[in-house]
Structure 1
Amino acid sequence: MDVTISPSILNCDIANLASEIEKVRNADYAHVDVMDNHFVPNLSWGLPVVEAVIRQDILPVDAHLMIEDADSWAPAYAEAGCASVTFHAEAAVAPIRLAREIRRQGAKVGMALRPATDITPYIDLLPEIDMLLVMTVEPGFGGQSFLKSMMPKIRRTRDAISTANLQVAVQVDGGINRETICLAAEAGANVFVAGSAVYKAEDAYSEVEALRQLAKTHC
């Protein structure tokens, strides 16, 4: 599958939202982390900021919902115009119904797993989603160190997708930089969320291109 780069705006200057997204206009998506201070111990922003990113019309929005009661809230993000909406399996009571509702609203469906959550119970759900997000840090804060211990989980996920002959993307989020993107790509990931590595770089546009090339070649 094609390599996809999705910079997280969690690390950008939100006061200059349009110009910050413009810096990474060569990316595939703008990744927006929604946190409610309940599912994760941090509070970021909600639907109004997501809608503001959509209005900029620079990049499609990849929304990552780290929130409780995903069944109630996730469809609204699809309805607002997100290109992709990812909910956490741990926060969904009826993940299949939720996935179908997100898709009915016109968005691609992502399902995320915390580091300690096993992929095995969710393998049968893979046909219902477009992307499986394997968290490579504990969700909640940017700038954390990459968990190399997640590489076997990424491999198991990719193997399960291949065995089922599905076109499901594998996304990684947390600690992605020029070194770790190589490990994740080699393990089978093809969608990469990078926050600090991109927005703390001297040239965010060039960093997006560098990460893309590294992922394509597995370094």
Structure 2
Amino acid sequence: MIKISPSILSADFANLERDIRKISTADYVHVDVMDGVFVPNITIGLPVVKAIRPATPLPLDVHLMIVQPGRYAAQFCDAGADIVTMHVESDTEANLRDAIERVHAKGKRAGVVVKPGTPAEAVLPYIRDVEMILVMTVEPGFGGQSFLSDQMIKVRAIRKLINEQNPVCELEVDGGVAPDTFRACIDAGANVLVAGSAVYKAPDIPARIRLLRG
């Protein structure tokens, strides 16, 4: 089954609870955390994750675009994250392994993320230990960017690795997912799609979520 994880980066931050309730038919709520260092933008932090936790029964899919994510991984779990994904480019392999263990110690799911310029093989040190791998199909840091179709080669490669080494691991795609691009993601092997503006700018949000499920 294809799962949809709408990104609240495209929601109205002055009405965040209202806009989270609008995506109640989705599978996850995607929360982009940016520190202004790993990516050139600053967004949501721990207090907002804690505040929105009571607003939805959906799992919070928290994407940490921050340096040394292990410093905060457990705290995001305590704030209400159900899934915490961290960039392979953000720290050393040893530190990321420790961060994954911290998330698991909290009883939550952990994942790793790769930027467009990072090869599929970068997930290999973690693939047996995570519940999700996220492939960015835009450069991380801002919403509303154009979909990088060449990343489908990487999605296919990672799907093959997952099938061989950790079949229960989810494969997520984030960036430019829309009515004209979602099918390519599914065909390449993704089973979780992050969509921001494609969901929140739709005239009928539940209908758009159904469409993106394929």
Distance 2:81 2:150 in 1: 31
Which residue of the partner structure matches residue 217 of structure 1? none
Which residue of the partner structure matches residue 6 of structure 1? 5
8 Å CA contact 1:137, 1:173 repeated in 2: yes
Distance 1:25 1:186 in 2: 26
Which residue of the partner structure matches residue 147 of structure 1? 148
Does residue 129 (structure 1) correspond to residue 130 (structure 2)? The answer is yes
Which residue of the partner structure matches residue 97 of structure 1? 98
Distance 1:174 1:131 in 2: 16
User: Counterparts in 2 of 1:56-205, with a 5 A limit?
Assistant: 56-93=55-92, 94-205=95-206
Give the % identical residues. Answer: 44
8 Å CA contact 2:138, 2:174 repeated in 1: yes
Deviation (angstroms), 1:92: 2.7
Deviation (angstroms), 1:124: 3.5
Which one-letter code corresponds to 1:5 in the other structure? I
Which residue of the partner structure matches residue 27 of structure 1? 26
Unaligned 5+ segments in structure 1 are: 215-219
Deviation (angstroms), 1:9: 0.4
TM-score normalised per structure 2: 0.95
> Is the partner of 1:33 in helix, strand or coil?
strand
8 Å CA contact 1:53, 1:61 repeated in 2: no
Distance 1:32 1:121 in 2: 23
Q: How many residue pairs were aligned? A: 212
Q: 1:56 to 1:165 in 2, by over 3 A?
A: closer
Q: 1:145 to 1:158 in 2, by over 3 A?
A: same
What's the C-alpha RMSD, in Å, of the aligned pairs?
1.1
Give CA deviations for 1:141-196 in whole Å, capped at 9, x if unaligned. 00000000101100110011112253111100000011211001100100000000
Give CA deviations for 1:87-121 in whole Å, capped at 9, x if unaligned. 11111322222111101112111110111111213
Give CA deviations for 1:16-75 in whole Å, capped at 9, x if unaligned. 112101111000111110111110011112111111111213422110111112121122
Deviation (angstroms), 1:6: 0.3
Deviation (angstroms), 1:209: 1.2
Q: 1:165 to 1:55 in 2, by over 3 A?
A: closer
Which one-letter code corresponds to 1:160 in the other structure? L
> Is the partner of 1:5 in helix, strand or coil?
strand
Distance 1:88 1:124 in 2: 13
Distance 1:107 1:79 in 2: 10
Distance 1:161 1:38 in 2: 30
